[in-house]
């Protein structure tokens, strides 16, 4: 008779923790297509920062919290650009 309980497994070599999702030191943010370059320069650093905050705080409504975080960072960026 086959067991219906899921097997316990250990993470394999492809398993990653949230720490693996960072921009490596010395990464060339200008590599890739122009759209990817723009995203890497203008969106990725702030988005990763916000996602790390979500992991630390584990809010009830993570999408709302992330959205508010991104809006606040957008305001900071606009102020620093003189807009």
What CATH class is the domain 31-80? mainly alpha
Would you say 75 and 46 are in contact if contact means Cβ atoms under 8 Å apart?
A: no
Would you say 50 and 70 are in contact if contact means Cβ atoms under 8 Å apart?
A: yes
- pLDDT tens for each residue of 60-75: 999 999 999 999 999 8
- pLDDT tens for each residue of 11-65: 555 555 555 556 666 666 566 788 988 999 999 999 999 999 999 999 999 999 9
Buried/exposed code over 25-39 (b: 16+ C-beta within 10 A; e: otherwise): eeeeeeeeeeeeeee
Cα angle 31, 37, 41 (rounded to 5 degrees) comes to: 115
């Amino acid at each position: 008779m086959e067991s219906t309980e899921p097997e316990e497994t250990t993470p394999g070599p492809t398993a990653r923790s949230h720490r693996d999702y960072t921009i490596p030191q010395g990464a060339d943010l200008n590599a890739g297509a122009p759209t990817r370059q723009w995203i890497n320069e203008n969106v990725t650093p702030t988005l990763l920062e916000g996602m790390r905050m979500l992991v630390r705080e584990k809010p009830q409504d993570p999408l709302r919290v992330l959205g508010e975080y991104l809006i606040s960072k957008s305001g900071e960026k606009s102020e620093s650009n003189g807009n």
